[in-house]
Amino acid sequence: MSSERVVHEFPPVYNGDSRVLILGTIPSPKSREHGFYYMHPQNRFWKMLCAVLGENIPEDVNGRRVLCLKHGIALWDVLESCDITGAEDSSIKNAKPNDLRLILDSCPIKAVFTTGKKAHALYGKYFPDLPEDICLPSTSPANRTITETEMLEEYRRIAQYLN
Protein backbone atom coordinates (compact mmCIF):
# COMPACT_ATOMS: atom_id res chain seq x y z
CA MET A 1 0.00 0.00 0.00
CA SER A 2 1.39 3.41 -0.93
CA SER A 3 0.96 6.65 0.93
CA GLU A 4 -1.59 9.23 -0.10
CA ARG A 5 -2.09 12.90 0.66
CA VAL A 6 -4.93 13.21 3.17
CA VAL A 7 -6.63 16.52 3.92
CA HIS A 8 -8.89 16.80 6.95
CA GLU A 9 -12.39 17.11 5.49
CA PHE A 10 -14.72 17.74 8.43
CA PRO A 11 -14.86 20.43 11.09
CA PRO A 12 -13.89 20.23 14.73
CA VAL A 13 -16.57 19.62 17.35
CA TYR A 14 -16.71 22.40 19.96
CA ASN A 15 -18.78 25.21 21.35
CA GLY A 16 -18.34 28.00 23.89
CA ASP A 17 -18.80 25.55 26.77
CA SER A 18 -16.03 23.12 25.74
CA ARG A 19 -13.66 22.49 28.67
CA VAL A 20 -11.65 19.54 27.36
CA LEU A 21 -10.00 19.24 23.94
CA ILE A 22 -9.29 15.72 22.68
CA LEU A 23 -6.95 15.45 19.69
CA GLY A 24 -6.11 12.54 17.42
CA THR A 25 -3.61 12.68 14.57
CA ILE A 26 -5.73 12.73 11.40
CA PRO A 27 -8.93 10.84 10.48
CA SER A 28 -8.53 7.21 9.48
CA PRO A 29 -9.98 5.96 6.18
CA LYS A 30 -13.13 4.74 8.01
CA SER A 31 -13.52 8.08 9.80
CA ARG A 32 -13.15 9.94 6.50
CA GLU A 33 -15.73 7.61 4.96
CA HIS A 34 -18.22 8.45 7.74
CA GLY A 35 -17.19 12.12 8.06
CA PHE A 36 -16.54 11.94 11.80
CA TYR A 37 -14.00 11.05 14.45
CA TYR A 38 -13.06 7.52 15.59
CA MET A 39 -15.50 5.70 13.32
CA HIS A 40 -13.66 2.43 12.70
CA PRO A 41 -16.03 -0.17 14.24
CA GLN A 42 -13.19 -1.70 16.28
CA ASN A 43 -11.82 1.61 17.56
CA ARG A 44 -12.45 1.82 21.29
CA PHE A 45 -12.65 5.61 21.62
CA TRP A 46 -16.44 5.88 21.92
CA LYS A 47 -16.57 2.91 24.29
CA MET A 48 -13.99 4.55 26.58
CA LEU A 49 -15.47 8.04 26.41
CA CYS A 50 -19.02 6.86 27.04
CA ALA A 51 -17.88 4.74 30.00
CA VAL A 52 -16.22 7.83 31.49
CA LEU A 53 -19.36 9.91 30.91
CA GLY A 54 -21.81 7.23 32.06
CA GLU A 55 -23.60 7.32 28.71
CA ASN A 56 -24.59 4.78 26.07
CA ILE A 57 -22.70 4.96 22.79
CA PRO A 58 -24.76 6.98 20.31
CA GLU A 59 -25.31 5.07 17.09
CA ASP A 60 -24.98 7.95 14.65
CA VAL A 61 -22.63 10.84 14.00
CA ASN A 62 -25.09 13.50 15.16
CA GLY A 63 -25.64 11.67 18.44
CA ARG A 64 -21.89 11.50 19.03
CA ARG A 65 -21.50 15.20 18.25
CA VAL A 66 -24.34 16.09 20.65
CA LEU A 67 -22.84 13.85 23.35
CA CYS A 68 -19.52 15.68 23.17
CA LEU A 69 -21.09 19.13 23.26
CA LYS A 70 -23.41 18.17 26.12
CA HIS A 71 -20.42 17.17 28.23
CA GLY A 72 -18.07 20.04 27.32
CA ILE A 73 -15.78 18.02 25.07
CA ALA A 74 -14.16 19.38 21.93
CA LEU A 75 -12.81 16.95 19.31
CA TRP A 76 -10.32 17.63 16.57
CA ASP A 77 -7.03 16.40 15.19
CA VAL A 78 -3.51 17.75 15.43
CA LEU A 79 -3.07 17.63 11.64
CA GLU A 80 -4.85 19.43 8.84
CA SER A 81 -3.09 17.29 6.22
CA CYS A 82 -0.29 14.80 5.71
CA ASP A 83 0.97 11.95 3.57
CA ILE A 84 -0.07 8.65 5.21
CA THR A 85 -0.34 4.98 4.34
CA GLY A 86 -3.83 3.77 5.31
CA ALA A 87 -4.30 4.51 9.00
CA GLU A 88 -0.66 3.96 9.97
CA ASP A 89 0.35 6.93 12.10
CA SER A 90 3.97 5.76 11.94
CA SER A 91 3.94 6.47 8.17
CA ILE A 92 2.98 10.17 8.49
CA LYS A 93 5.14 12.55 6.46
CA ASN A 94 4.82 16.12 5.18
CA ALA A 95 2.46 17.06 7.99
CA LYS A 96 0.68 20.39 8.24
CA PRO A 97 -0.94 21.19 11.61
CA ASN A 98 -4.42 22.51 12.25
CA ASP A 99 -4.80 25.95 13.80
CA LEU A 100 -5.74 24.81 17.31
CA ARG A 101 -6.09 28.42 18.47
CA LEU A 102 -9.49 28.37 16.76
CA ILE A 103 -10.70 26.32 19.74
CA LEU A 104 -8.27 27.38 22.45
CA ASP A 105 -8.99 31.10 21.95
CA SER A 106 -12.79 30.68 21.96
CA CYS A 107 -13.39 28.08 24.68
CA PRO A 108 -12.56 27.76 28.39
CA ILE A 109 -10.37 24.69 27.74
CA LYS A 110 -8.97 23.32 31.01
CA ALA A 111 -7.03 20.38 29.52
CA VAL A 112 -5.79 19.07 26.19
CA PHE A 113 -5.63 15.29 25.70
CA THR A 114 -3.97 13.50 22.81
CA THR A 115 -5.02 9.98 21.83
CA GLY A 116 -1.84 8.04 21.25
CA LYS A 117 1.89 8.57 21.12
CA LYS A 118 1.95 9.96 17.56
CA ALA A 119 -0.69 12.62 18.29
CA HIS A 120 1.26 13.48 21.46
CA ALA A 121 4.56 13.79 19.57
CA LEU A 122 3.02 15.90 16.79
CA TYR A 123 1.28 18.18 19.32
CA GLY A 124 4.60 18.70 21.12
CA LYS A 125 6.41 19.39 17.85
CA TYR A 126 3.94 21.87 16.39
CA PHE A 127 2.52 23.49 19.52
CA PRO A 128 5.30 23.99 22.09
CA ASP A 129 3.73 27.32 23.11
CA LEU A 130 0.28 25.84 23.88
CA PRO A 131 -0.77 24.15 27.13
CA GLU A 132 0.95 20.82 27.73
CA ASP A 133 -1.14 17.85 26.64
CA ILE A 134 -2.00 14.71 28.56
CA CYS A 135 -1.23 11.64 26.44
CA LEU A 136 -3.87 8.92 26.55
CA PRO A 137 -3.43 5.45 25.06
CA SER A 138 -4.42 5.04 21.45
CA THR A 139 -7.87 3.47 21.04
CA SER A 140 -6.93 2.16 17.60
CA PRO A 141 -7.65 -1.51 16.94
CA ALA A 142 -3.91 -1.83 16.21
CA ASN A 143 -3.06 -0.96 19.84
CA ARG A 144 -3.22 -4.19 21.82
CA THR A 145 -0.50 -3.32 24.33
CA ILE A 146 -3.02 -2.28 26.99
CA THR A 147 -6.15 -3.94 28.36
CA GLU A 148 -9.49 -2.18 28.16
CA THR A 149 -9.54 -1.95 31.97
CA GLU A 150 -6.15 -0.20 31.98
CA MET A 151 -7.22 2.03 29.10
CA LEU A 152 -10.40 3.05 30.87
CA GLU A 153 -8.42 4.03 33.97
CA GLU A 154 -6.37 6.39 31.80
CA TYR A 155 -9.45 7.81 30.07
CA ARG A 156 -11.11 8.50 33.44
CA ARG A 157 -8.62 11.37 33.80
CA ILE A 158 -10.83 13.35 31.42
CA ALA A 159 -13.65 13.53 33.97
CA GLN A 160 -11.74 15.68 36.47
CA TYR A 161 -11.65 18.54 33.94
CA LEU A 162 -15.35 18.46 33.09
CA ASN A 163 -16.71 19.79 36.40
Q: Hey, which residues are catalytic here?
A: 43
Amino acid at 91: S
Q: How far apart are CA 70 and CA 54, in angstroms?
A: 13
Question: Are the C-beta atoms of 139 and 44 separated by less than 8 Å?
Answer: yes
Instruction: Estimate the crossing angle of helix 45-53 against helix 61-70, to 10 degrees.
Output: 40
Question: Are the C-beta atoms of 18 and 103 separated by less than 8 Å?
Answer: yes
Give the dihedral sign, CA 156/12/58/85. negative
Q: 29-67 burial, b for 16+ CB within 10 Å, e for fewer? A: eebbebebbbbbeebbbbbbbbbbbeeeeeeeeeebeeb
